Protein backbone atom coordinates (compact mmCIF):
# COMPACT_ATOMS: atom_id res chain seq x y z
CA UNK A 1 0.00 0.00 0.00
CA UNK A 2 2.66 2.59 0.87
CA UNK A 3 4.39 1.63 -2.39
CA UNK A 4 1.27 2.60 -4.28
CA UNK A 5 1.30 5.92 -2.50
CA UNK A 6 4.97 6.51 -3.21
CA UNK A 7 4.78 5.63 -6.89
CA UNK A 8 1.41 6.66 -8.16
CA UNK A 9 -0.37 9.17 -5.98
CA UNK A 10 -0.66 12.87 -6.64
CA UNK A 11 -1.49 15.24 -3.82
CA UNK A 12 -3.59 18.31 -4.14
CA UNK A 13 -4.72 20.59 -1.36
CA UNK A 14 -7.72 22.84 -1.17
CA UNK A 15 -9.02 24.70 1.83
CA UNK A 16 -10.26 22.30 4.44
CA UNK A 17 -9.18 19.19 2.67
CA UNK A 18 -6.23 17.35 1.23
CA UNK A 19 -6.82 15.03 -1.67
CA UNK A 20 -4.61 12.29 -2.99
CA UNK A 21 -5.46 10.82 -6.37
CA UNK A 22 -4.17 7.31 -6.91
CA UNK A 23 -3.55 5.79 -10.31
CA UNK A 24 -4.25 2.30 -9.06
CA UNK A 25 -7.26 1.18 -7.04
CA UNK A 26 -6.59 0.79 -3.37
CA UNK A 27 -8.99 -0.44 -0.77
CA UNK A 28 -7.78 0.20 2.75
CA UNK A 29 -6.52 2.85 5.08
CA UNK A 30 -2.86 3.03 5.97
CA UNK A 31 -0.90 5.26 8.29
CA UNK A 32 1.32 7.97 6.90
CA UNK A 33 3.80 10.11 8.74
CA UNK A 34 4.23 13.12 6.49
CA UNK A 35 2.92 14.26 3.14
CA UNK A 36 4.04 17.11 0.95
CA UNK A 37 1.50 19.65 -0.25
CA UNK A 38 1.70 23.05 -1.93
CA UNK A 39 1.63 24.46 1.58
CA UNK A 40 4.73 22.47 2.64
CA UNK A 41 5.29 19.23 4.53
CA UNK A 42 2.42 18.31 6.81
CA UNK A 43 1.89 15.54 9.28
CA UNK A 44 -1.21 13.41 8.78
CA UNK A 45 -2.57 10.53 10.80
CA UNK A 46 -4.47 8.37 8.36
CA UNK A 47 -5.26 8.27 4.70
CA UNK A 48 -8.50 6.83 3.41
CA UNK A 49 -8.51 5.08 0.09
CA UNK A 50 -11.55 4.39 -2.02
CA UNK A 51 -11.41 1.30 -4.19
CA UNK A 52 -14.30 2.45 -6.39
CA UNK A 53 -12.85 5.77 -7.46
CA UNK A 54 -9.17 5.18 -6.73
CA UNK A 55 -9.13 8.35 -4.66
CA UNK A 56 -7.91 8.90 -1.19
CA UNK A 57 -7.93 11.59 1.43
CA UNK A 58 -6.18 12.46 4.63
CA UNK A 59 -7.44 14.02 7.81
CA UNK A 60 -5.30 17.10 8.03
CA UNK A 61 -6.19 20.57 9.31
CA UNK A 62 -5.89 23.15 6.56
CA UNK A 63 -6.98 26.79 6.63
CA UNK A 64 -10.76 27.00 6.55
CA UNK A 65 -12.39 28.14 3.32
CA UNK A 66 -13.95 31.45 4.19
CA UNK A 67 -16.11 31.66 1.11
CA UNK A 68 -19.75 31.23 1.97
CA UNK A 69 -21.57 28.16 0.66
CA UNK A 70 -23.80 30.67 -1.07
CA UNK A 71 -21.00 32.78 -2.52
CA UNK A 72 -21.33 30.95 -5.79
CA UNK A 73 -24.45 32.56 -7.24
CA UNK A 74 -26.52 29.47 -6.59
CA UNK A 75 -30.27 29.41 -7.09
CA UNK A 76 -31.46 26.32 -5.24
CA UNK A 77 -29.89 24.51 -2.27
CA UNK A 78 -30.70 20.86 -1.73
CA UNK A 79 -29.34 19.22 1.40
CA UNK A 80 -29.26 15.54 2.28
CA UNK A 81 -29.61 14.83 6.00
CA UNK A 82 -28.57 11.23 6.55
CA UNK A 83 -29.24 11.44 10.30
CA UNK A 84 -27.83 8.24 11.94
CA UNK A 85 -27.86 6.30 8.65
CA UNK A 86 -26.66 4.31 6.69
CA UNK A 87 -23.86 1.75 7.37
CA UNK A 88 -20.53 2.94 5.96
CA UNK A 89 -20.51 0.56 2.99
CA UNK A 90 -23.91 1.87 1.84
CA UNK A 91 -22.83 5.44 2.54
CA UNK A 92 -19.79 5.02 0.32
CA UNK A 93 -21.89 3.63 -2.53
CA UNK A 94 -24.43 6.42 -2.13
CA UNK A 95 -21.73 9.10 -2.27
CA UNK A 96 -20.31 7.55 -5.44
CA UNK A 97 -23.82 7.68 -6.95
CA UNK A 98 -24.26 11.31 -5.85
CA UNK A 99 -20.87 12.20 -7.35
CA UNK A 100 -21.88 10.81 -10.73
CA UNK A 101 -24.41 13.61 -11.30
CA UNK A 102 -24.50 17.37 -11.18
CA UNK A 103 -27.46 19.71 -11.48
CA UNK A 104 -27.31 23.18 -13.03
CA UNK A 105 -28.27 25.92 -10.63
CA UNK A 106 -28.27 23.59 -7.64
CA UNK A 107 -25.86 23.44 -4.73
CA UNK A 108 -26.02 20.12 -2.95
CA UNK A 109 -24.95 19.65 0.64
CA UNK A 110 -24.48 16.33 2.37
CA UNK A 111 -24.86 16.11 6.15
CA UNK A 112 -23.41 12.65 6.89
CA UNK A 113 -22.88 11.18 10.36
CA UNK A 114 -19.75 12.87 11.79
CA UNK A 115 -17.46 9.80 11.56
CA UNK A 116 -18.02 9.71 7.78
CA UNK A 117 -17.22 13.36 7.09
CA UNK A 118 -13.68 12.99 5.78
CA UNK A 119 -14.46 9.97 3.67
CA UNK A 120 -17.59 11.50 2.15
CA UNK A 121 -15.70 14.73 1.51
CA UNK A 122 -13.07 12.77 -0.39
CA UNK A 123 -15.66 10.93 -2.46
CA UNK A 124 -17.43 14.16 -3.33
CA UNK A 125 -14.30 16.23 -3.92
CA UNK A 126 -14.42 17.94 -7.29
CA UNK A 127 -18.22 17.71 -7.47
CA UNK A 128 -20.71 20.46 -6.69
CA UNK A 129 -21.71 18.70 -3.45
CA UNK A 130 -20.34 20.04 -0.19
CA UNK A 131 -20.26 18.26 3.14
CA UNK A 132 -21.47 19.58 6.48
CA UNK A 133 -21.95 18.54 10.09
CA UNK A 134 -25.33 17.53 11.55
CA UNK A 135 -24.60 19.38 14.80
CA UNK A 136 -21.75 20.93 16.77
CA UNK A 137 -21.00 21.79 20.38
CA UNK A 138 -21.22 25.41 21.48
CA UNK A 139 -17.70 25.34 22.96
CA UNK A 140 -14.54 25.26 20.88
CA UNK A 141 -12.96 22.45 22.95
CA UNK A 142 -13.07 20.91 26.39
CA UNK A 143 -14.48 18.10 28.51
CA UNK A 144 -17.59 17.27 26.47
CA UNK A 145 -17.55 13.54 25.91
CA UNK A 146 -19.23 12.48 22.70
CA UNK A 147 -19.51 15.99 21.31
CA UNK A 148 -17.90 17.51 18.25
CA UNK A 149 -16.57 21.07 18.03
CA UNK A 150 -17.32 23.25 15.02
CA UNK A 151 -13.60 23.67 14.35
CA UNK A 152 -13.21 19.89 14.19
CA UNK A 153 -15.95 19.73 11.56
CA UNK A 154 -14.18 22.45 9.59
CA UNK A 155 -10.88 20.57 9.84
CA UNK A 156 -12.61 17.50 8.44
CA UNK A 157 -13.84 19.39 5.37
CA UNK A 158 -17.27 20.63 6.53
CA UNK A 159 -18.39 23.98 5.12
CA UNK A 160 -21.66 24.26 6.98
CA UNK A 161 -23.41 22.86 10.03
CA UNK A 162 -27.05 21.97 10.54
CA UNK A 163 -28.40 23.33 13.83
CA UNK A 164 -31.66 23.13 15.74
CA UNK A 165 -33.06 20.15 13.86
CA UNK A 166 -36.29 19.08 15.56
CA UNK A 167 -34.77 15.67 16.32
CA UNK A 168 -32.00 17.36 18.31
CA UNK A 169 -34.49 19.66 19.98
CA UNK A 170 -36.58 16.59 20.96
CA UNK A 171 -33.82 14.03 21.68
CA UNK A 172 -31.41 16.36 23.44
CA UNK A 173 -33.67 19.08 24.80
CA UNK A 174 -31.93 21.75 22.72
CA UNK A 175 -33.61 25.12 23.03
CA UNK A 176 -33.39 28.26 20.93
CA UNK A 177 -30.74 29.89 23.12
CA UNK A 178 -28.46 26.86 22.79
CA UNK A 179 -28.97 26.80 19.03
CA UNK A 180 -27.94 30.47 18.87
CA UNK A 181 -24.76 29.77 20.88
CA UNK A 182 -23.92 26.83 18.65
CA UNK A 183 -24.45 29.04 15.61
CA UNK A 184 -22.05 31.63 17.02
CA UNK A 185 -19.45 28.90 17.63
CA UNK A 186 -19.88 27.57 14.09
CA UNK A 187 -19.53 31.01 12.54
CA UNK A 188 -16.36 31.61 14.56
CA UNK A 189 -14.95 28.37 13.18
CA UNK A 190 -15.60 29.56 9.61
CA UNK A 191 -18.67 27.39 9.00
CA UNK A 192 -21.94 28.57 7.51
CA UNK A 193 -25.05 27.60 9.46
CA UNK A 194 -28.37 26.08 8.45
CA UNK A 195 -30.84 26.65 11.29
CA UNK A 196 -34.04 24.59 11.44
CA UNK A 197 -37.39 25.82 12.73
CA UNK A 198 -40.84 24.28 12.65
CA UNK A 199 -44.01 23.69 14.64
CA UNK A 200 -45.51 20.48 16.00
CA UNK A 201 -48.91 19.20 14.89
CA UNK A 202 -50.53 20.36 18.14
CA UNK A 203 -49.16 23.84 17.62
CA UNK A 204 -50.41 23.94 14.02
CA UNK A 205 -53.85 22.69 15.04
CA UNK A 206 -53.95 25.30 17.80
CA UNK A 207 -53.35 27.96 15.13
CA UNK A 208 -50.02 29.02 16.61
CA UNK A 209 -47.62 27.70 13.94
CA UNK A 210 -46.47 31.12 12.78
CA UNK A 211 -46.05 32.44 16.33
CA UNK A 212 -44.02 29.36 17.31
CA UNK A 213 -41.73 29.68 14.32
CA UNK A 214 -41.26 33.40 14.94
CA UNK A 215 -40.20 32.70 18.54
CA UNK A 216 -37.76 30.06 17.29
CA UNK A 217 -36.28 32.50 14.78
CA UNK A 218 -35.94 35.24 17.41
CA UNK A 219 -34.17 32.87 19.79
CA UNK A 220 -32.08 30.73 17.42
CA UNK A 221 -30.67 33.18 14.89
CA UNK A 222 -27.75 35.11 16.41
CA UNK A 223 -28.24 38.88 16.35
CA UNK A 224 -26.20 40.64 13.69
CA UNK A 225 -25.43 37.47 11.73
CA UNK A 226 -24.00 37.98 8.24
CA UNK A 227 -26.79 37.04 5.81
CA UNK A 228 -24.35 35.28 3.48
CA UNK A 229 -23.50 32.76 6.23
CA UNK A 230 -27.06 31.78 7.11
CA UNK A 231 -29.58 29.37 5.63
CA UNK A 232 -32.91 28.54 7.25
CA UNK A 233 -34.91 25.32 6.96
CA UNK A 234 -38.63 25.40 7.72
CA UNK A 235 -39.51 21.86 8.76
CA UNK A 236 -42.95 21.24 10.22
CA UNK A 237 -42.21 18.57 12.82
CA UNK A 238 -45.32 16.60 11.84
CA UNK A 239 -44.04 16.28 8.25
CA UNK A 240 -40.57 14.94 9.08
CA UNK A 241 -40.20 11.27 8.28
CA UNK A 242 -43.95 10.78 8.32
CA UNK A 243 -44.74 10.87 4.61
CA UNK A 244 -47.11 13.78 5.33
CA UNK A 245 -46.00 16.78 3.35
CA UNK A 246 -47.30 20.24 4.15
CA UNK A 247 -49.66 21.65 1.54
CA UNK A 248 -48.28 24.24 -0.84
CA UNK A 249 -50.54 26.90 0.74
CA UNK A 250 -49.19 26.07 4.21
CA UNK A 251 -45.62 26.16 2.92
CA UNK A 252 -46.23 29.42 1.05
CA UNK A 253 -47.77 31.11 4.09
CA UNK A 254 -44.98 30.09 6.44
CA UNK A 255 -42.18 30.89 4.02
CA UNK A 256 -43.71 34.32 3.40
CA UNK A 257 -43.90 34.92 7.16
CA UNK A 258 -40.25 33.88 7.60
CA UNK A 259 -39.27 36.08 4.66
CA UNK A 260 -40.99 39.06 6.33
CA UNK A 261 -39.12 38.32 9.55
CA UNK A 262 -35.82 38.16 7.65
CA UNK A 263 -36.51 41.37 5.73
CA UNK A 264 -37.02 43.28 8.99
CA UNK A 265 -33.52 42.20 10.08
CA UNK A 266 -31.68 43.00 6.84
CA UNK A 267 -31.47 39.28 6.11
CA UNK A 268 -33.77 39.22 3.08
CA UNK A 269 -31.23 37.33 0.94
CA UNK A 270 -31.18 34.32 3.29
CA UNK A 271 -32.56 31.21 1.54
CA UNK A 272 -35.40 29.35 3.25
CA UNK A 273 -35.40 25.63 2.55
CA UNK A 274 -38.46 23.48 3.09
CA UNK A 275 -38.07 20.10 4.79
CA UNK A 276 -40.56 17.34 5.57
CA UNK A 277 -41.12 14.27 3.39
CA UNK A 278 -39.82 15.89 0.19
CA UNK A 279 -39.82 13.29 -2.59
CA UNK A 280 -39.26 13.38 -6.36
CA UNK A 281 -43.05 13.32 -6.80
CA UNK A 282 -43.74 16.49 -4.79
CA UNK A 283 -40.49 18.42 -5.31
CA UNK A 284 -41.60 20.37 -8.41
CA UNK A 285 -44.70 21.63 -6.59
CA UNK A 286 -42.68 22.60 -3.50
CA UNK A 287 -39.97 24.38 -5.50
CA UNK A 288 -42.72 26.24 -7.33
CA UNK A 289 -43.77 27.94 -4.08
CA UNK A 290 -42.51 31.53 -3.78
CA UNK A 291 -39.79 31.98 -1.13
CA UNK A 292 -38.80 28.30 -1.19
CA UNK A 293 -35.03 28.37 -1.73
CA UNK A 294 -34.45 24.63 -1.69
CA UNK A 295 -35.06 21.51 0.35
CA UNK A 296 -33.69 19.67 3.34
CA UNK A 297 -34.19 16.00 2.58
CA UNK A 298 -34.06 13.13 5.07
CA UNK A 299 -35.45 9.74 4.05
CA UNK A 300 -35.35 10.34 0.29
CA UNK A 301 -31.66 11.24 0.44
CA UNK A 302 -30.84 7.63 1.33
CA UNK A 303 -31.80 6.51 -2.18
CA UNK A 304 -29.62 8.06 -4.89
CA UNK A 305 -32.41 7.83 -7.45
CA UNK A 306 -34.86 9.70 -5.22
CA UNK A 307 -32.33 12.33 -4.20
CA UNK A 308 -31.30 12.86 -7.82
CA UNK A 309 -34.98 13.17 -8.76
CA UNK A 310 -35.37 15.97 -6.20
CA UNK A 311 -32.18 17.66 -7.47
CA UNK A 312 -33.52 17.48 -11.05
CA UNK A 313 -36.63 19.30 -9.84
CA UNK A 314 -34.31 21.84 -8.19
CA UNK A 315 -32.50 22.37 -11.50
CA UNK A 316 -35.85 22.92 -13.28
CA UNK A 317 -36.82 25.45 -10.63
CA UNK A 318 -33.45 27.22 -10.92
CA UNK A 319 -33.83 27.41 -14.71
CA UNK A 320 -37.36 28.78 -14.38
CA UNK A 321 -36.20 31.47 -11.92
CA UNK A 322 -33.17 32.66 -13.92
C1 LIG B 1 -35.17 15.91 7.86
O2 LIG B 1 -34.52 15.02 8.38
O3 LIG B 1 -34.83 17.07 8.04
C4 LIG B 1 -36.32 15.56 7.02
C5 LIG B 1 -36.96 16.52 6.43
O6 LIG B 1 -36.61 14.23 6.91
P7 LIG B 1 -37.66 13.58 5.85
O8 LIG B 1 -37.30 14.12 4.50
O9 LIG B 1 -37.44 12.12 5.97
O10 LIG B 1 -39.02 14.01 6.26
| pLDDT profile of the chain (322 residues), mean per 10 | 35 50 44 46 53 56 54 77 94 90 94 91 84 97 97 90 97 97 97 97 96 98 96 96 90 97 96 96 96 96 97 95 84
Give the model's pLDDT for residue 32: 42
Q: Among the options 137, 138, 165, 255, which is catalytic?
A: 165
CA of 32 to the centre of ligand 1 (A): 39
Give the model's pLDDT for residue 308: 96
For 40, other C-beta atoms within 10 Å of its C-beta total 7
Per the annotation, the verdict on 249 as an active-site residue is no
CA of 34 to the centre of ligand 1 (A): 41
CA of 50 to the centre of ligand 1 (A): 28
Give the model's pLDDT for residue 5: 36
For 9, other C-beta atoms within 10 Å of its C-beta total 20
Q: Whose CA is nearest to atom 4 of ligand 1?
A: 298
Per the annotation, the verdict on 36 as an active-site residue is no
Q: Whose CA is nearest to atom 1 of ligand 1?
A: 298
Q: Whose CA is nearest to atom 3 of ligand 1?
A: 298
Spatial distance between the Cα atoms of 226 and 222, rounded to a whole number of angstroms: 9
CA of 9 to the centre of ligand 1 (A): 39
CB-CB contact of 75 with 69 (8 Å): no
Nearest atom, ligand 1, residue 166 CA: 3
Q: Whose CA is nearest to atom 7 of ligand 1?
A: 298
Give the model's pLDDT for residue 23: 44
| Ligand 1 proximal residues by C-beta, below 6 Å | 81, 83, 235, 240-241, 275-278, 296-300
Q: Among the options 75, 174, 199, 235, which is catalytic?
A: 235
| Listed residue (144, 148, 265) closest to 132, CA to CA | 148
- Give pairs for 24-33: CB < 8 Å, separation 24+: 24/54, 25/51, 25/52, 25/54, 26/1, 26/50, 26/51, 26/54, 26/56, 27/51, 28/1, 30/1, 30/2, 30/5, 32/2, 32/5, 32/58
* CA–centroid distance for 306 within its chain: 17
Q: Whose CA is nearest to atom 8 of ligand 1?
A: 298
CA of 277 to the centre of ligand 1 (A): 6
Amino acid sequence: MPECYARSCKLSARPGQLTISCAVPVSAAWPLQMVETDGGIRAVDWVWCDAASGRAGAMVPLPADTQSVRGRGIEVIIAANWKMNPPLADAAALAVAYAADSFDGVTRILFPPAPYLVQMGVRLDGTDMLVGGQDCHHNASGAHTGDVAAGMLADCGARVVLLGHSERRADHGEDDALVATKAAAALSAGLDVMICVGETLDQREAGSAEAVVTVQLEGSVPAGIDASRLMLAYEPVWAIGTGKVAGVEEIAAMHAAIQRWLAKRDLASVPILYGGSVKPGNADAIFGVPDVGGALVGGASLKAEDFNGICSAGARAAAARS
